[in-house]
Amino acid sequence: MKSNNSSTKGNRKLWIVIGIVVIIIVLFGFILHDRKTSLLKKADVKVEFGGYNDSGYMSYDRDKLAKAEMKIFTDKAKMSDYWTKELLKDPDELAEPENFDDSESMSSKDKDKMAKIYQWQKGTKINESSNGNLKNGQKVIIAIKTSDDKTNPLKSESKTYKVKGLKKVKNLNVSSFTKKLRLKVRGTNTHGYFDTVKANSSTPKVVSKHVEDTFKANHNGGLKNGDKVKTTERKIADDLNRYSDKYNFIGRKNAHVILTIDNLPTNKKNVKNLSSFIDELDELHHGDELVHVVFDQGKKSLSLIYNHGDGQYLTDNYSGVVLKEGKLKKSSSFTSYPQRRDNKDPYDDTSSSGKIYDISLK
């Protein structure tokens, strides 16, 4: 009898152990089924840094990250091999669910799975704490954030990377190249304008791209040889530092820089019928003195500039005018009513792809 009792007790213990093992296996299965996946580990994200200190940037394979994300989604949804391959071709171009109904080749089950993947993708955000103007020693973070959808297989996570390996920026005083600065001028004398300032012979080659903000002239567009363009070293430095990575330009606030307009060609024209042509236009100017006449061959326009008094000038611009054999003539596109504007300069503010002529009043 003792032998039978011992056997029975042994069997009970065995079944208890088996039961516990089964429960553990089932629980482990549930845990595995609901476990979130780390996208950063799955994609094996490798971050690199480039550029110069204080203006560095971060780079990594974003396409690889997007494909790893989509593969996690398709595996979780148990998407068919065909549609998995299609989705991995361009993971960022997943259509909205209402467009799935237009696909006759997609089964209703695949449409449901596709809708679920779309939901996961739209609920997942990949953010970078910073990816510009980086400096050595700075810390940047890549964060994966998911919505409240508990079925999303991705894990909300973040990883911190320390910026390193950025090249050292060199300091360069603006005073070292101010004497080499040259204005790039266009147009003609009394109708000149500048759009670039360069110091080609300096090291490095300096090009100012925001001359309108940095360099001030009385009337850019109506400049003549000898006119002065003014600025300061500080303004030049601020302008150049907008796009400079390798150099940090340094300029003194009150150190003035003055450049002179030169090399503008002079295009003078004598017009035989100037007085009669102007009289034919029959415009009243109440005694205003005609001080300047400009013919723009490219625009086929004639500008008459009058001194209106008190430092004001009035410009009448006629279009559809041609100059042939030394005479002004109206073309078929001539406008009898001029475009009129007030300005503070006796020179017409204009630029053209064609030639601009100053017409002599004598």
The token duo for 123 is 């609920």
Q: Which residues of 115-138 are buried (b: 16+ CB within 10 A; e: fewer)?
A: ebbbbbbeebeeeeeeeeebebeb
Prediction pTM value: 0.54
Kindly report, residue by residue over 55-83, the tens digit of the pLDDT. Answer: 899 999 999 999 999 999 999 999 999 99
| CA 141/CA 156 separation, integer angstroms | 13
Residues of the chain with pLDDT under 70: 1-34, 99-104, 196, 200-204, 208-210, 212, 282-286, 344-354, 361-362
Question: What is the structure's pLDDT at 32?
Answer: 44
How crowded is residue 9: how many other Cβ atoms within 10 Å of its Cβ?
Answer: 10
Residue 30: predicted pLDDT: 44
DSSP state of 17: H
Q: Does residue 291 contact residue 307 with C-beta atoms inside 8 Å? A: yes
pLDDT value for 117: 93
Reported for 329-335, long-range contacts at CB under 8 A and 24+ positions apart, including other chains, are 331/300, 333/300
- At 100 the pLDDT is 67
Is the separation of the CB atoms in 357 and 295 below 8 Å?
yes
Q: Residue 357 belongs to what H/E stretch?
A: strand 356-359
Q: Specify the pLDDT at position 352.
A: 58
Nearest partner of 50 among 204, 169, 163, 171, judged by Cα: 163
End-to-end CA distance of the chain: 144
Distances (CA, A) of 242 to 55, 71, 207, 233: 10, 41, 11, 15
